[in-house]
């Protein structure tokens, strides 16, 4: 083996992100925290550029462990963009005495490495390593608000449930290996094809497949494996909730898409009904429970469940078209969700009343994240109102926003497969979704409330505007993005 | 610069102006608002000039620019692309040229208004959509522009939105346009299903081989014409245009006289291949057009509001344009669009100048003798009046005469009716002129004291437009008078396909020169006679129209009441629809409340179950997860009946 | 059993019965599949494992039984008290312990385990050659960077 075959040097984003994470840890020893945020953003930009260096080519890296192609680059681009936006909304961390921004940023970058592995894995070992890197990072970040009981509780819950799901995932991988003798996706796919044709029992394979899928469905919070989601999303600091509900979900769906399309497309008939049932359950539970939330943040948690449902529709209608559909949906969903959490953080931070009056905020339900907190927001803060309104419209799938086209593409992928009943449920549930998304809009524009003008840092403002503009641009010109894939 | 870049820049520049003035409303300083607002149209006009050079250098070959693939649904691809040909060039010239002048005028007219920045932003936005409308290379882009200009029209009619009746006028315009738009949209859908494309070139190529008066072509053209009825104010959808005068005067000049309302004519000329294949539709257009022209002109005879007279005159002139199209004289129709844009914009701006001087007085019964205090306005208004009346050698004479000549070839009855309309036009326009500028001043002393000529930014556009109204007709002097019909030659390639598709329609039964000269002299003579009649009535005898309170004779009453068409619509359509709405509302309230209530109840009860599961206890969560995993595997593997 | 279900069948409960039969059949195929995959091994090949297993279990059981039974048993209050280095017990056994203990413990495990990677590398040092060396340097570099981070962070400071 010589230096020429040192192919890992081309696997730039993973290496760059790992190294820059370490660099950030050491940057944290600096007295001033001012440098951390720009440095993180710079690293992310470099990784983003490096990601697209290989555009148009297809490579296998690390002895066929990781695949890089255009689709993987698109997904990686989406998670990098989402992280960039989340990080740029984190300016207040530098002022927080208890926070450890250097470590948080480093963990975010490390977790991205996991996400990228999940996006491009060719070997189930890689999938497992990626899932673990991402999950462990999330456990930590969920509990990062150390003085807050709810944050601690959420972290512990997430860890316990996550460990349980990881066990199932690992069990599935083991069974698959037992059945097929291979960890490689294409190897498993070949087995599925040949064994189906040859007849005979494939029970071990099927059980393994189910276990693996259930493990992954847990990670993307599909019902009935979603129970952790509301508690964890609600308990975690909003910044990391935004990260979890976008990056983790995108990576999870990229992984599901990959394994379903490469390994299990040969046995589509076997799994699609089960997946469809999961989809319907997810849509029902996510949307209907979201209606009855008083807290905006908790509503967003259920909303993320319901969006997992819509994304699952794209998987149920698995075809060539569902790849760009899921990528587009992830992007649209990430943009709106991050913008919405960005506004939420501003609003919640500007309501110091609760902590002052009730003192101990650890036991207090966070009323500053309720719908009421948004009352009359748009009057004094038209920009924030507009950003939030566009995000909500996009999440609800109203035309002229990116969310509409995301839903449209995903639905048409399923319609091609003839899953009409699934679409009926999905469309009904989108109608339910409009109700709870519009509650915020109504609160902002039509309710009376005593909101002062909220000071927004320039960069924060730019990111919010950029997300909104991008949402609208993708809504008007979906083909701009589609053309890439 | 390359033509492609120019094509993109032309609509983009006004859009930029809109963004700056619109987002920066109340923040951009007043002095800058005008500059920004004016820069867009003027730069766009320069781009149009450059583009014209490019177009000419390329031997008038059609230029197509695709910006991006916009919508792809199945086999259907709709590009966001622009097409530059003779028709587009003409419209671009009118829209940006007259647009620039009117923007300049608006700076003088509106800069004391509180919503100055907003106004300029809306005007710029209008220009953007209008340019999109004429630039688009397919029906869908045209439709975007079509809807966009409708929106801007709505916004600008109701610009002074504290006045309820202005808002109602805006709403009326919008609703009537929506009715037309529906027809237009259905037409586009029919085109899509019939030809599988909306691109002009694709569609027209396929049309050429089809039968004349084929049902599908008739359907398409009639639907498209419904759209044109709404936008270009033809019977029965014309009543919104007079009401639209609620908007500021520059709006009336730009949108409701020079550009937007001619979109219908543009559309018909653009789709001339389709319309030529449907002579039946052309006949219907001709019938509706002459009815509109006469009806509007007759209402105009007795109106006393300076802008209302001009509005009815616009409706009537639009009727003339469609009359020309109905006789398959597309060039003549476009020619009238151009000259009309010159002199009607001039007249409206002149009226604006008068209203400005009279402190927002619009009733001509309270004016009179203004020619001394407003000399420039007077002279330019006079030019405009002569031009619209059709007195040679001003612009209106040539264009109107060409239409009438073509109509004469087609049907002598229509020609006679057209001549009658022309006579009425001449009369009411000179009546307007004389009542406003001649005789004694009839307003209050305060108004008299305040009288002043408008600033340069307002008079300069008047002068430019006056010059254009004088010389505009020379671009298409017929051969009889020693001209070369330059415009007709220029536009001729546009109609090649139509000629190929339906040669019978264009068969030359050209008039001999004698007849042509005779027709010209008749119409010019009629116009001059009516001008003299008006002079005798309103200057020599100094008659002043009666105040509203006076009792009128029945025919007068009917015309003065605009034939009660508005009341008729109100009784026939608005009230029944409202009644139906009420009925549906009360019924719907019951049924829908029951349905909604039921749904809400079931959602609430199921949410209760879901929420109870979300107790926060990990033990329960894991138990539920394990149960569901077991259930899934059990159902999937041990009982095939459930899922398969 | 079979007879029992046949009686069910006759009574008209055939649907339930049929499902049950199908269940059994599926279960059987599941089990047979498990054994199919390991068909290359004979049952007798597992004998050593069973011997090992029974020895291990037997040892534990025997020692537990023997130690409980051969010694004398005298109970007293003092004797039954939890015994802690001769000092009287204080408070609950679940009292919070300084996080430092855990940190040190986990760091110990971490660095201890990492060293394991060095053994196979050292054994195959020559065969792995230059590339192996570079990989090891990278690995150690990262490890030492972590170590440096831990020290700078003051994790090992005991005050």
C interface residues, B as partner, C-beta within 8 Å: 19, 22-23, 26-27, 30
Distance of CA B32 to the CA centre of its chain: 29
Band (pLDDT 50/70/90 cuts) for residue A416 is confident
Neighbours of chain C (3+ CB pairs under 8 A): A, B
B230 contacts B176 by C-beta, under 8 angstroms? yes
Number of domains in chain C: 2
C157 within domain boundaries: no
d(CA A412, CA A422): 12
What is the C-alpha end-to-end distance of chain C, expressed in Å? 72
> What is the domain extent for residue B621?
614-644
- Which residue among A168, A285, A479 places its CB closest to the CB of B68? A479
A129/A115 Cα distance (integer angstroms): 10
Domain count along chain B = 3
In a domain, B253, yes or no: yes
Shared domain check, B83 and B232:
no
Q: pLDDT tens-digit profile of B409-459?
A: 888 898 999 999 999 999 999 999 999 888 888 888 888 888 888 888 888
Contacts of B637 in chain C (CB under 8 A): 26, 30
Collect contacts of A156-164 with beta carbons under 8 A, ≥24 apart: A157/A228, A157/A231, A157/A232, A157/A235, A157/B618, A157/B621, A158/A228, A158/A232, A160/B618, A160/B622, A161/A218, A161/A227, A161/A228, A161/B618, A161/B621, A161/B622, A161/B625, A162/A135, A162/A138, A162/A218, A162/A219, A162/A228, A164/B622, A164/B625
Task: State the Cα–Cα distance between residues B582 and B576, nearest whole angstrom.
Answer: 10
* Paired strand residues for A370: A295
pLDDT in tens, B6-51: 888 899 999 999 998 888 878 888 888 888 889 999 999 999 999 9
**Top mean-pLDDT range of A251-260, B131-140, B183-192, B484-493:** A251-260
Residue B477 clears pLDDT 70, i.e. is over it = yes
Angle subtended at Cα A306 by Cα A303 and Cα A312, rounded to the nearest 5 degrees: 145
Confidence grade of residue B255 (pLDDT, cut at 50, 70, 90) = confident
Contacts of B604 in chain A (CB under 8 A): 291-292
Statement to judge: residues B109 and B148 lie in one domain: no
pLDDT digits (tens, 9 = 90+) for B50-85: 998 888 888 788 888 888 777 777 677 888 889 988
CA A330 to chain centre: 7
Helix, strand or coil, per DSSP, at residue C95: coil
Output the CA–CA distances (angstroms, integers) from residue B209 to B214, B217, B269, B277, B497, in the order listed. Answer: 11, 12, 19, 10, 10
Interface probe for C, chosen from B635, B637, B644 (most Cβ of C below 10 Å), is: B637
Share of chain A above pLDDT 90, in %: 53
Q: Is residue C110 part of a domain?
A: yes
Residue A90 to residue B342: CA distance in whole angstroms: 59
Residue B391, pLDDT > 60, answer: yes
Size of interface A-B (CB pairs under 8 A): 71
Q: How far apart are the first and last CA of chain B?
A: 66
pLDDT at position C15 is: 55
Residue A227, min C-alpha distance to chain B (Å): 6
- Is B69's CB within 8 Å of A483's CB? yes
Domain boundary among B515, B541, B560: B560
Whether residue B70 and residue A477 make contact (CB cut-off 8 A), yes or no, is: yes
CA distance linking residue A438 with residue A389, whole number of Å: 8
Minimum mean pLDDT range among A141-155, A217-231, B217-231, B566-580: B566-580
- Residues B226 and B194 both lie in one domain: yes
Q: Is residue C46 part of a domain?
A: no
Q: Does the beta-carbon distance from A288 to B72 stay under 8 Å?
A: no
C140 assigned to some structural domain: yes
Give the residue numbers spanning the domain of C17.
Answer: 1-40
Minimal Cα distance from B637: which residue of C? C26
Taking only the tens place, the pLDDT of each residue in B545-582 is 877 777 777 777 777 777 788 888 878 877 888 888 78
d(CA B18, CA B119): 10
| Predicted local confidence at residue B641, as pLDDT | 45
Position B379 scores a pLDDT of: 92
Q: What are the backbone dihedrals phi and psi of residue B259, each rounded to the nearest 5 degrees, phi first? A: -115, -70
Beta-bridge partner residues of A269: none
- Looking at the predicted structure, is the pLDDT value of residue A25 above 50? yes
* Banded model confidence at residue A3, pLDDT cuts 50, 70, 90: very low
Do the Cβ atoms of C23 and B639 come within 8 Å?
Answer: yes
Note whether B43 and B182 are same-domain residues: no
Q: Assign residue C86 a region (left: φ > 0; alpha: ψ between -120 and 50; beta: otherwise).
A: left
- Give yes or no: residues B248 and B381 share one domain: yes
Cα dihedral A330, A336, A337, A342 sign: positive
Bigger pLDDT: B396 vs C71: B396
Can you tell me the distance from the alpha carbon of A81 to that of A331, in angstroms, rounded to the nearest whole number? 9
* One domain, residues B46 and B147: no
Terminal-residue alpha carbon distance, chain A: 36
Q: For residues B482 and B502, state if they share a domain.
A: yes
Residue B124 lies in a domain: yes
d(C-alpha A250, C-alpha A244), whole Å: 9
Taking the alpha carbons of B265, B267, B268, B272 in that order, is the dihedral positive or negative? positive
Instruction: Determine whether B489 is exposed, middle or buried from the number of CB atoms within 10 Å of its CB (0-12, 13-18, 19+).
Output: exposed
Q: Which residue in B153, B180, B124 sits closest to B256, CA to CA? A: B153
Residue C67 lies in a domain: no
Other CB atoms within 10 A of residue B463 CB: 16
Residue bearing the bigger pLDDT, A307 or B573 = A307
Residues of A near B (CB-CB distance < 8 A)? 157, 160-161, 164, 168, 203, 206-207, 210, 214, 218, 224-225, 227-228, 230-231, 273-274, 277, 284-285, 288-289, 291-292, 432, 477, 479-480, 482-483
Sign, CA dihedral B387-B393-B399-B405, equals: positive
A3: which chain C residues are within 8 Å (Cβ-Cβ)?
Answer: 131
Q: What b/e readout covers C84-105, taking b as 16+ CB neighbours within 10 angstroms?
A: eeeeeeeeeeeeeeeeeeeeee
In B201-279, the DSSP E strands lie at none
Whether B574 is covered by a domain: the verdict is no
In a domain, B588, yes or no: no
* Phi-psi map region of B617: left, alpha, beta (phi>0 left; psi -120 to 50 alpha): beta
Task: List the structure tokens of C94.
Answer: 């679940």
Which residues in A have their CB inside 8 Å of a CB on C?
1-3, 22, 25-26, 29, 178-179, 201, 203-204
Q: Are residues B286 and B175 in the same domain?
A: yes
Sign of CA dihedral B461, B467, B470, B473: negative
Radius of gyration of chain C, Cα coordinates, nearest whole angstrom: 31
The pLDDT tens digits for C88-141 are 777 777 777 888 888 889 998 988 888 888 888 989 888 988 988 998 999 999
Evaluate if residue A367 carries a pLDDT over 60. Answer: no
* B26 lies in some domain: yes
Cβ within 8 Å, pair B625-A483: no
Per-residue pLDDT tens digits for B271-324: 999 998 888 999 999 999 999 999 999 998 888 889 999 999 999 999 999 999
* Min distance B640 CA to chain C CA atoms (Å): 10
Chain C residues in contact with A178 (beta carbon < 8 A) = 37
Short-list B232, B240, B226, CA closest to B261: B232
Q: Distance, in angstroms, between B624 CA and closest chain A CA?
A: 8
**Residues B466 and B353 sit within 8 Å (Cβ to Cβ):** no
Kindly state whether residues B104 and B166 are assigned to the same domain.
Answer: no
CB under 8 Å to A112, separation ≥6 — which residues?
A17, A47, A79, A80, A83, A247
Q: What is the DSSP string of A14-27?
A: HHHHHHHHHHHHHH
C118 within domain boundaries: yes
Q: Would you give the DSSP letter of residue B536?
A: I
What is the helix (H) or strand (E) element at residue A61, kind and residue range?
strand A59-61
Q: Using the 3D structure, point to which of B514, B543, B560 is the last residue of a domain.
A: B560
Q: Tell me if C147 sits within 8 A of A26, measured CB to CB.
A: no
The 3-class secondary structure across B198-219, one letter per residue, is CEHHHHHHHHHCCCCCCHHHHH
So what's the pLDDT on residue B293?
92
Strand ranges (DSSP E) for A405-457?
Answer: none
Q: Does C116 touch chain A (CB under 8 A)?
A: no
pLDDT of A364 over the 50 cut: no
Question: Rounded to an integer, what distance in angstroms lies between the CA atom of residue B558 and that of residue B555?
Answer: 5
Examine residue B279 and state whether it is found in any structural domain, yes or no: yes
Q: Give phi and psi for A121, each to the nearest 5.
A: -65, 145
Are A328 and A225 within 8 A, CB to CB? Answer: no
Domain boundary among B80, B108, B137: B137
Q: Which H/E stretch holds residue B507?
A: none
Average pLDDT over residues B330-350: 92
Question: Cα distance from A479 to chain B (closest Cα, Å)?
Answer: 6
* pLDDT tens sequence across B582-622: 887 777 778 877 887 887 788 777 777 777 777 778 888 88
Helices (H) and strands (E) in chain A, counts: 21, 2
Helices (H) and strands (E) in chain B, counts: 28, 2
Angle, CA B576 vertex, CA B574 and CA B579 arms, to 5°: 105
* Cβ contact, residue pair C37, A204, below 8 Å: yes
Residues C149, A26: C-beta atoms closer than 8 Å: yes
User: Do A417 and A321 touch, CB atoms closer than 8 A?
Assistant: no
Identify whether C91 is part of a domain.
no
Judge whether residue A5 has pLDDT over 60. Answer: no
Cβ distance of C142 and A22 shorter than 8 Å: yes
Residue A253: pLDDT over 70: yes
- Provide the whole-model pTM: 0.66
Interface membership of C61 toward A (CB under 8 Å): no
Give domain status of residue B194, yes or no: yes
Neighbours of A245 (CB within 10 A): 28
Asked if residue C76 is part of any domain, the answer here is no
What is the mean predicted confidence (pLDDT) over A394-402?
Answer: 90
Tokens at residue A13, please? 């984003």
Three-state DSSP state, B560: helix
């Amino acid at each position: 083996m010589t230096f020429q075959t040192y192919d890992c040097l081309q696997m730039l984003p993973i290496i760059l992100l790992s190294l820059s994470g370490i660099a950030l840890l050491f940057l944290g020893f600096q007295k001033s925290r001012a440098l951390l945020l720009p440095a993180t953003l710079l690293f992310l930009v470099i990784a983003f550029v490096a990601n697209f260096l290989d555009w148009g080519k297809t490579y296998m890296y690390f002895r066929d462990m990781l695949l890089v192609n255009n689709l993987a680059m698109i997904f990686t681009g989406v998670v990098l963009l989402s992280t960039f936006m989340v990080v740029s909304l984190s300016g207040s961390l530098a002022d927080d005495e208890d926070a450890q921004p250097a470590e948080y940023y480093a963990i975010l970058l490390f977790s991205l490495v996991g996400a990228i592995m999940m996006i491009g894995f060719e070997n189930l070992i890689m999938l497992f390593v990626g899932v673990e890197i991402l999950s462990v990072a999330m456990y930590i970040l969920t509990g990062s608000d150390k003085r807050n009981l709810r944050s601690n509780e959420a972290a512990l819950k997430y860890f316990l449930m996550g460990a349980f799901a990881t066990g199932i995932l690992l069990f599935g991988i083991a069974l698959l290996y037992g059945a097929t003798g291979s960890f490689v996706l294409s190897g498993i796919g070949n087995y599925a094809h040949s064994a189906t044709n040859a007849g005979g029992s494939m029970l071990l394979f099927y059980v393994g497949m189910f276990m693996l899928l259930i493990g992954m469905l847990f990670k993307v919070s599909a019902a009935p494996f979603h129970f952790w989601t509301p508690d964890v999303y609600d308990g975690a600091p909003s910044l990391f909730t935004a990260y979890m509900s976008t990056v983790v979900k995108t990576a999870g769906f990229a992984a599901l898409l990959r394994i379903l399309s490469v390994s299990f497309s040969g046995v589509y008939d076997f799994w699609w009904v089960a997946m469809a049932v999961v989809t319907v359950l997810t849509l029902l539970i996510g949307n209907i429970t979201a209606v009855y939330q008083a807290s905006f943040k908790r509503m967003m948690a259920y909303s993320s469940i319901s969006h997992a449902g819509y994304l699952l529709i794209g998987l149920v209608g698995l075809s060539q078209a569902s790849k760009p559909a899921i990528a587009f949906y992830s992007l649209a969903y990430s943009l709106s969700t991050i913008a919405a959490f960005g506004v939420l953080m501003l609003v919640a931070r500007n309501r110091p009343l609760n902590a002052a009056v009730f003192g101990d905020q650890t036991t207090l339900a966070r009323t500053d994240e309720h719908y009421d907190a948004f009352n009359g927001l748009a009057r004094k803060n038209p920009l924030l109102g507009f950003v939030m309104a566009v995000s909500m419209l996009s999440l609800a799938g109203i035309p002229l926003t990116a969310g509409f086209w995301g839903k449209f593409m995903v639905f048409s992928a399923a319609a091609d497969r003839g899953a009409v009943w699934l679409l009926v449920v999905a469309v009904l549930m989108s109608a339910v979704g409009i109700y709870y998304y519009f509650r915020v809009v109504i609160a902002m524009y039509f309710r009376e409330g005593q909101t002062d003008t909220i000071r927004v840092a320039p960069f924060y403002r730019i990111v919010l505007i950029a997300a909104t503009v991008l949402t609208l641009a993708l809504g008007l010109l979906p083909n701009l993005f589609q053309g890439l894939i | 610069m390359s033509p492609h870049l120019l094509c993109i820049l032309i609509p983009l520049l006004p859009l930029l102006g809109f963004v700056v003035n619109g987002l920066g409303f109340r923040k951009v300083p007043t002095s800058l608002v005008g500059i920004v607002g004016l820069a867009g149209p003027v730069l766009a006009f320069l781009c149009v000039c450059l583009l014209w050079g490019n177009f000419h250098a390329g031997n008038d070959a059609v230029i197509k620019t695709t910006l991006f693939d916009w919508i792809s649904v199945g086999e259907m691809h709709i590009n966001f692309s622009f097409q530059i040909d003779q028709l587009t060039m003409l419209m671009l010239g009118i829209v940006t040229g007259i647009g620039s002048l009117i923007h300049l005028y608006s700076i003088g007219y509106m800069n004391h208004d509180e919503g100055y920045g907003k106004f300029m932003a809306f005007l710029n936005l209008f220009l953007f959509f209008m340019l999109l409308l004429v630039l688009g290379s397919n029906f869908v882009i045209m439709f975007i522009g079509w809807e966009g200009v409708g929106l801007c029209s709505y916004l600008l009619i109701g610009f002074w939105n504290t006045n309820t009746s202005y808002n109602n006028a805006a709403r009326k315009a919008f609703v009537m346009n929506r009715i037309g738009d529906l027809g237009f949209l259905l037409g586009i859908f029919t085109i899509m299903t019939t030809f599988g494309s909306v691109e002009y070139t694709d569609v027209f190529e396929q049309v050429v081989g089809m039968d004349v008066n084929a049902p599908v072509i008739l359907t398409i053209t009639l639907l498209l014409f419904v759209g044109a009825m709404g936008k270009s104010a033809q019977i029965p959808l014309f009543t919104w245009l007079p009401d639209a005068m609620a908007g500021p005067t520059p709006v009336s000049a730009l949108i409701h006289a020079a550009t937007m309302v001619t979109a219908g004519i543009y559309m018909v000329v653009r789709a001339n291949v389709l319309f030529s294949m449907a002579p039946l539709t052309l006949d219907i257009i001709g019938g509706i057009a002459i009815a509109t022209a006469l009806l509007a002109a007759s209402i105009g005879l007795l109106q006393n509001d300076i802008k209302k007279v001009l509005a009815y005159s616009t409706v009537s002139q639009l009727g003339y344009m469609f009359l020309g199209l109905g006789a398959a004289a597309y060039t003549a129709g476009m020619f009238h669009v151009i000259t009309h844009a010159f002199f009607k914009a001039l007249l409206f701006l002149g009226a604006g100048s008068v209203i400005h001087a009279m402190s927002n007085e619009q009733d001509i019964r309270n004016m009179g003798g203004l020619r001394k205090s407003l000399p420039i306005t007077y002279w330019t208004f006079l030019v405009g009046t002569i031009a619209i009346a059709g007195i040679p050698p001003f612009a209106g004479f040539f264009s109107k005469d060409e239409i009438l000549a073509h109509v004469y070839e087609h049907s002598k009855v229509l020609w006679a009716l057209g001549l009658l309309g022309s006579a009425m036009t001449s009369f009411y326009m000179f009546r307007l002129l004389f009542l406003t500028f001649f005789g004694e001043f009839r307003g209050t002393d305060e108004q008299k004291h305040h009288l002043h000529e408008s600033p340069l930014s307002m008079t300069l556009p008047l002068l430019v437009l006056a010059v254009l109204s004088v010389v505009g007709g020379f671009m298409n002097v017929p051969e009889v008078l020693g001209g070369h019909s330059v415009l007709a030659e220029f536009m001729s390639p546009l109609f090649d396909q139509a000629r190929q598709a339906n040669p019978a329609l264009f068969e030359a039964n050209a008039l001999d020169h004698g007849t042509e000269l005779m027709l010209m002299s008749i119409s010019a003579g009629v116009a001059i006679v009516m001008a003299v009649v008006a002079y005798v009535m309103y200057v020599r005898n100094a008659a002043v129209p009666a105040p509203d309170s006076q009792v009128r004779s029945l025919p007068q009453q009917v015309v003065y009441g605009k034939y009660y068409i508005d009341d008729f619509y109100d009784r026939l359509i608005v009230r029944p629809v409202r009644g139906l709405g009420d009925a549906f509302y009360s019924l719907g309230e019951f049924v829908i409340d029951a349905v909604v209530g039921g749904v809400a109840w079931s959602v609430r009860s199921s949410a209760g179950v879901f929420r109870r599961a979300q107790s926060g206890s990990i033990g329960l969560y894991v138990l539920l997860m394990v149960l569901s995993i077991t259930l899934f595997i059990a159902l999937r593997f041990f009982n095939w009946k459930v899922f398969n | 059993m079979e007879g029992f279900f046949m009686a069910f069948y006759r009574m008209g409960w055939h649907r339930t019965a049929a499902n049950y039969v199908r269940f059994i059949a599926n279960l059987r195929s599941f089990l047979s599949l498990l054994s199919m995959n390991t068909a290359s091994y004979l049952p007798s090949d597992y004998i050593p494992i069973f011997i090992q297993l029974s020895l291990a279990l037997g040892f534990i059981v025997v020692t537990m039984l023997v130690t409980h039974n051969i010694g004398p048993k005298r109970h007293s209050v003092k004797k039954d008290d939890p015994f802690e280095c001769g000092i009287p017990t204080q408070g609950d056994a679940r009292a919070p312990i300084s996080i430092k203990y855990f940190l040190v413990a986990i760091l110990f495990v971490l660095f201890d385990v990492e060293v394991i990677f060095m053994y196979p590398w050292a054994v195959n040092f020559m065969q792995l050659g230059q590339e192996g060396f570079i990989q090891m340097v990278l690995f150690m570099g990262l490890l030492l960077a972590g170590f440096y981070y831990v020290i700078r962070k003051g994790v090992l400071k005991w005050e």
